[in-house]
Structure 1
Amino acid sequence: MSVHVQREAAAIRETWLGKALSTRPAGRPAAEAAISGLYRLIGLPPPRFHWVSSPAKGLATVPPGTRAWESIDRLTEWPVPRRLSTLAATLRHELDARLRPRGRPFDQIVRRTTYFPLQRSVTSTLVPPLNAAHESPVHRRTWYDTLSVAWIAEYDALRRAAGAVFTGEQRRLLALWTAATTSCGWWWPREDTCVVSERPVALHTEVWGENGEVRPHREDGPAVRYADGWDLHAWHGMPVPAWVITDPSVRRIADEPNVEVRRCAIEHMGWPAYVDQAGLRLVATAPDPGNPGCELRLYDMRAGTRVLLAVNGSQERDGHRRRYGLTVPAFDDPIAAAGWTYGLSAEHYSLLQRRT
């Protein structure tokens, strides 16, 4: 029975993931009706709607009549997002209260299968464009978490897969939040005006987690793109400058201060190509005792550091083993360098049967 519930919850999760990552044009009438309904629930009349083509435009848009304290850098102080977040939190508390007395055995299974994977996918895929558009880091745990489909999907799965029973009014409120979060992109509710973003027109992802979590990734162009041309490049979930994807080079890598961006650029070039083009001097090679049949290669890099090339002990989803490089101190022995990355001595690393 628990396996059946988990499978059904996983299928529901995939449906909600499709809604969260949709690239179809926004359903403007449905979005405006749902958001207006939420405004009414906190005692406000429906707002004027100002539609924009991307989050970047949404954050830069200052509707006529905007009050000084409704500037985007003070989003956490806006009263309407706070009141709407409280509305959602109250609904969640009431739904949890209906579940708690029965001690339902499948609730935690459903939550692990739906809420957490969806929240990780939204955080990995839809939040990076917000971070790129915001001048300051996004406060994900306030307003933007309220707009995540993860919490709504959780209760949908609890109802459909685990048999939870909610009242008609609770289902009506969930339907309002569902329409408000799945009919459009991000939105920013001021007292009189609500700025609403269209969805992206292109979104490229890869599966990276055990429960179907996805993250943005594209090897030959922007991973996320909006109709107005605003975009975001990403390499295996890491937002990167466009050159990392379009034109990685040894010179640009050398000039890049961010170590993670450098790593992504080198991976995109391929470590063998980078080693060759950068003219790195080979210090030593050795069979990898932690990965039989593979070789460790130690190169002299720069400024008293070296790079160790190794092969991943586990396969990627496509069946291949990824070659990767690790910056290490100025070792002369590849085995000592490999051991250092695990906090082991060369002697202890050489005794490993197989690493992962």
Structure 2
Amino acid sequence: MSAHAQREAAEIREQWLGRALSTLPADRPAAEAAISSLYDLIGLPPPRFHWAASPLTALATVPPGLGRAESLERVAEWPLPPRLIALRNELRRGLDAKVRGLQQPLDQLIRRTVQSPLLTSTGACLLQPLQRAHTGEFSWSNRWYESQLVPWIAHYDALRRVAGVVFTAEQLRQWELWATVAASCHWWWPAEHVCVVSERPVALHTEVSGDEGQVRLHHADGPALRYADGWALHSWHGTRVPAWVIAGPTAERIAAETNVEVRRCAIERLGWPEYVEQAGLRLVGTAPDPGNPGSELRLYDMRRETKVLVAVNGSVERDGRRRRYGLTVPGHFTDPLAAAGWTYGLSAEQYSRLLRRT
């Protein structure tokens, strides 16, 4: 297994991640031609295409040719998606049969470097917003949506280009159809006479969140994801949050928020020093952090029988800074060292002997 194969696999992963998260206008002719060819492979004529500005708009409309009982929310129950999934699965079985003789380390390299990171990234950046667009029940295991994500497409692309797996002409043609759709548009919902297709977002902001190039939605200055029709989602380091968390967090709004994760994100967005000042938290005590030399532990009264320990992360963030964070601890603590030790299951004396916390 060579360093060249590692680099080539990583390049393929980045190519497909860029296509999956593209904010360029959809290539409508390419998408329609490829989808029409997939219809042909299951014995159906080309559909009429109905384009929507976003998944939210797509799911909220009933285009001509689609009965009102055929809600896009229930696409998994439509007759065509299972037929198209079966077509894809047949392709995958044929390609997997060619891979069985492949060197195991190379196969593992491609799965680790290409498929797995793309599953994480597309799930975080594309499936989460799709879940938000659905008003009804949404299943993360929906095979129709999974078939549209690029990880499986990129996996076979890497097997072809890095491992030298040879496709038959028919296998290559069908793989290219799925690849073209994934690289040309956003989500799509196939019915017998009409196919609903969503445009891509016009803005999508991410941050790196893993060692293999995984990304998640994040934007500190506005929506992390925005479509041309105005539908937008805000995200703070991968956690979906209301717009006020990004645009105008205040201690008052944070106190009124019932979701613990949203409160945490809002405090981080506001900043702990500003939050402490706005909320009027009373300082109980301070101490040098023995687990993080050069940093200080600060213990505050928060509410009722709760205190908050404000500390500095022992690890450097990707931007070179050390993140300040707060941990709630029982209200009986008055010593920051004892409170810090409690978060690790240690006594104050044991925590004071730590060399470095990460």
Q: Within the alignment, does 1:355 sit opposite 2:357 as a pair?
A: yes
Amino acid corresponding to residue 348 of structure 1 in structure 2: Q
- 1:245-271 Cα offsets, whole Å, 9 max, x none, are 111111111111111111111101100
Are the counterparts in 2 of residues 305 and 328 from structure 1 also a CA contact under 8 Å? Answer: yes
Aligned to 2:313: 312
Query: Within 5 A, what are the aligned runs for 1:1-356?
Result: 1-67=1-67, 69-141=69-141, 142-330=143-331, 331-356=333-358
What amino acid maps onto 1:92 in structure 2? R
CA deviation profile, 1:144-170 (whole Å, cap 9, x unmatched): 111101110111111111222221111
How far apart are the structure 2 equivalents of 1:211 and 1:101?
A: 26
Q: Which moved more, 1:327-336 or 1:257-266?
A: 327-336
For residues 324 and 261 of structure 2, the distance between their equivalents in structure 1, rounded to whole angstroms, comes to: 16
CA contact (8 A) 2:19 2:182 kept: no
Q: Deviations over 1:45-78 (max 9, x none)?
A: 2211100000100111112343455213322212
- Distance across 2 between alignment mates of 1:165 and 1:152: 15
CA distance in 2, matches of 1:160, 1:235: 36
TM-score by length of 2: 0.95
Q: Hey, what's the Cα distance between the residues in 2 that align with 1:190 and 1:118?
A: 28
Task: Summarize the Cα distance change of 1:54–1:343 in structure 2 as closer, same or farther, 3 Å threshold.
Answer: same
Following the alignment from structure 2 to structure 1, what is the Cα–Cα distance between the partners of residues 347 and 34?
61
Provide the rounded CA distance (Å) in 2 between the counterparts of 1:337 and 1:44.
Answer: 67
Please, what TM-score do these two structures have when normalized by structure 1? Answer: 0.96
Please state whether the residue corresponding to 1:194 is helix, strand or coil.
strand
For these two proteins, the number of residue pairs brought into alignment is 356
C-alpha change, 1:42 and 1:159, in structure 2 (3 Å) is same
CA distance 1:228–1:102, shift in 2 (3 Å):
closer
Equivalent AA in structure 2 for residue 123 of structure 1: G
Cα shift at 1:137: 4.8
**Post-superposition offset of 1:14:** 0.8
- Counterpart CA distance in 1 for 2:343 and 2:170 is 56
Is the 1:2–1:106 Cα contact (8 Å) retained in structure 2? no
| Alpha-carbon spacing, 1:104–1:167, altered in 2? closer, same or farther (3 Å) | farther
**RMSD between aligned alpha carbons?**
1.5
Separation (CA, whole Å) in 2 of partners of 1:81 and 1:337: 54
CA deviation profile, 1:91-116 (whole Å, cap 9, x unmatched): 22221111103445311101110011
**1:33: Cα distance to partner?**
0.8
Q: Distance in 1 between matches of 2:197 and 2:280?
A: 50
Q: Secondary structure at the match of 1:337?
A: helix
> CA offset at residue 212 of structure 1?
0.9
The separation in 2 between residues aligned to 1:342 and 1:62, in whole angstroms, is 54
Inter-partner Cα distance in structure 2 for 1:153 and 1:130? 21
Q: Distance in 1 between matches of 2:344 and 2:138?
A: 34
**Helix, strand or coil for the counterpart of 2:101?**
helix
Q: Note if contact 1:313-1:355 (Cα within 8 Å) is conserved in structure 2.
A: yes
For the structure 1 residues 319 and 102, does the alpha-carbon distance in structure 2 shift closer, same or farther, using more than 3 Å as the test?
A: closer
* Structure 2, unpaired ranges of 5+: none
State whether residues 69 and 78 of structure 1, in contact with CA within 8 Å, keep that contact through their aligned partners in structure 2: no
CA spacing shift, 1:276–1:94, aligned 2, 3 Å: same
Instruction: Name the CA distance, whole Å, in 2 between partners of 1:343 and 1:123.
Output: 34
Per-residue displacement from partner, 1:112-159 (whole Å, max 9, x unpaired)?
100111111111111222122111353232221111011101111111
Measure, in 1, the Cα distance between the counterparts of 2:119 and 2:228. 25
**Distance in 2 of aligned mates of 1:239 and 1:190:** 31
CA–CA distance in structure 1, aligned partners of residues 327 and 89 of structure 2:
44
Identity percentage of aligned residues: 66
SS of equivalent residue, structure 1 residue 70: coil
